[in-house]
Amino acid sequence: MAPLARRLKNLGDESAFKVNDDIRRCEERGLEVIRLNLGEPDFDSAENINRAAIEELRAGNAHYTDPQGVLPLRESIARDVEEKRGVALSPERIVVTSGGKPPIGYALLTYLDPGDEVVYPSPGFPIYESWIHFVQAVPAPVFLKEEKNFRFEAADLEPLVTPRTKLVILNSPSNPTGGVLTRADLDAMAELLLKKAHPDFRVLSDEVYEEIIFEGRKHQSILSSPGMAGRTILLNSFSKTFAMTGWRLGYAALPTVEEARVFRQWNINTYSCTPPFIQMAGRAALENEENKAIVAAMRREFEQRRNAVVAALNRIQGLACATPAGAFYAFPNISGVCQNLGVSKAYDELPPEIKAKTSPATLFQLFALYRHGVATLDRRSFGLIGSEGQPYLRISTASNLDRLREGLKRIEAAARDAAGFEEFVAQGGPFL
């Protein structure tokens, strides 16, 4: 046994990375896998952004920077936030981070003591629940409902908010559902929180999909709601908007300079600073006018794919898919498929110790991958609490239409293959 600290038993994981091991195993067996599990745009970062980084490197801009982030980038971010959200923000309140993930951990470590309550969306980005457990806070998931198109409103939050609620996490557009919150939803939530939550509550507003939003909707942030500028930690990333996942660039905009100093201190205690040439490429991403058209084209492409994927999914017997309003995921209900293939029955018959680690949706996800060569993610990948019996899969549209069509064909074939499923289970399934 490795000599690990006790606190590690609380640290969670992200299946989006783990499923790659399964994919590799399938490929080693000669199966060609269509990856509908991907959480990143299939586009490359724009040439003007690449060029900016290269020029900075050539000019020798490759030393430590202010751990808070270089001022020119923080100024661009402040302008961008003000333009889109109508909230003036000084660069002193912005902390540049290596991707959008660090601010999640920083926020949980900064604001929560053991026993404090956190409201967060479920299904949601799994890192929220991981950190909630790690800091021994009390999870209060708000369950997103298919019948509401995975939107939720103040009335859904109401029963979860108490005077012990120190943090509320919002994520619109949502991973994994594509649900989008409206201005009215956000304003009503703000009013409720100001009335009912802990007097010092904060909202962590994860807006990394802000630009991937369809049918002309305008992205809305709780930062712009009355009374919320001094309460909201805006989390954003260059990963999705500018197809820069591997660059690792994001930021947090904090309610006060004092809190920004704490986030800066977390940077100092971990990786010191984000590489300066990457920060300057981020500045180019925000400042170069060319990128407006590039982002708009990406949005149009994701919308076309969404339309094609949702229509195709709804043609598959036993499967029903709501139409996501944003992000690049579809989140179909596969309960009919589970019934048709006998998945639920197979699940019921599993020994309790195996059952506890899986779900009907997981069994179908593994079957579709190992036998039909199509990778997706199950509902359990997006928050374990309350995931029991939830028959959903996440399907990413971050592949071109040909790949998507082939992937959907394989899902359909898997959804009809009762005999194959029976055999898969009889042989133990690779990870039952």
Interface pick for ligand PLP out of 106, 111, 120, 125 (rule CB under 6 A): 125
99 counts as binding ligand PLP under rule CB under 6 A? yes
Cβ(317)–Cβ(304) below 8 Å:
no
Instruction: Rank residues 127 and 188 by Cβ distance to ligand PLP and give the closer one.
Output: 127
130 counts as binding ligand PLP under rule CB under 6 A? no
Interface pick for ligand PLP out of 206, 259, 303, 412 (rule CB under 6 A): 206
Stretch that binds ligand PLP, among 4-12, 237-245, 254-262, 375-383 (CB under 6 A): 237-245
Residue for token pair 């991403």:
285
Q: Which of residues 157-176 bind ligand PLP (CB under 6 A)?
A: 171, 175
Cα–chain center distance at 253: 18
Which residues fall within 8 angstroms of residue 415, CB to CB, at 6 or more apart? 316, 317, 318, 319, 334, 337, 340, 341
Cα–chain center distance at 9: 23
- Euclidean distance between CA atoms 1 and 123, whole angstroms: 33
101 counts as binding ligand PLP under rule CB under 6 A? yes
237 counts as binding ligand PLP under rule CB under 6 A? yes
- Euclidean distance between CA atoms 14 and 232, whole angstroms: 25
- Euclidean distance between CA atoms 235 and 100, whole angstroms: 7
Q: DSSP secondary-structure letter at 119?
A: E
239 counts as binding ligand PLP under rule CB under 6 A? yes
Q: How far is the CB of 125 from ligand PLP (least distance, A)?
A: 4
Instruction: Rank residues 65 and 237 by Cβ distance to ligand PLP and give the closer one.
Output: 237
| Binding map of ligand PLP across residues 322-361, x = CB under 6 A, - = no contact | ----------------------------------------
Residue 145, exposed/middle/buried by CB under 10 A (0-12, 13-18, 19+)?
middle
Instruction: Rank residues 250 and 360 by Cβ distance to ligand PLP and give the closer one.
Output: 250
Residue ranges binding ligand PLP (CB under 6 A) = 39, 99-101, 125, 171, 175, 206, 208, 237, 239, 245, 250
